[in-house]
């Protein structure tokens, strides 16, 4: 899966947090984080790998380090 975003400052670090909604199987992570750097046009693209146990509804939130810009979206893994 590839996460993308836009309208960030060029070169700024964007922290991404993925959180599973609802119940999770025992021993499965409910959330994890990663980061990306916005390119010269203010966009980022970050590939993330979700394991098979990650099916269900998820939310991703993005927060920029220098501008403070935030964004969020939901998605479903089937």
pLDDT digits (tens, 9 = 90+) for 6-50: 999 999 999 999 999 887 777 777 888 999 999 999 999 999 988
H helices of 1-78, in order, are: none
What's the domain count of the chain?
A: 1
> Domain residues for 36?
2-77
Please check whether residue 43 is in contact with residue 6, taking contact to mean a CB–CB distance below 8 angstroms.
Answer: yes
On whether the CB atoms of residues 62 and 16 are closer than 8 A, the answer is yes
Q: The whole model's pTM is what?
A: 0.85
**Residues 6 or more apart whose Cβ sits within 8 Å of residue 54:** 20, 28, 77
């Amino acid at each position: 899966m590839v996460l993308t975003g836009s309208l960030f400052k060029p070169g700024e670090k964007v922290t991404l947090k993925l959180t599973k909604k609802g119940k999770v199987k025992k021993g499965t992570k409910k959330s994890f984080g990663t980061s990306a750097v916005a390119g010269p046009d203010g966009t980022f693209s970050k590939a993330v790998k979700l394991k098979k146990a990650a099916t269900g509804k998820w939310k991703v939130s993005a927060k920029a380090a220098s501008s403070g810009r935030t964004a969020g979206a939901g998605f479903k893994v089937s």
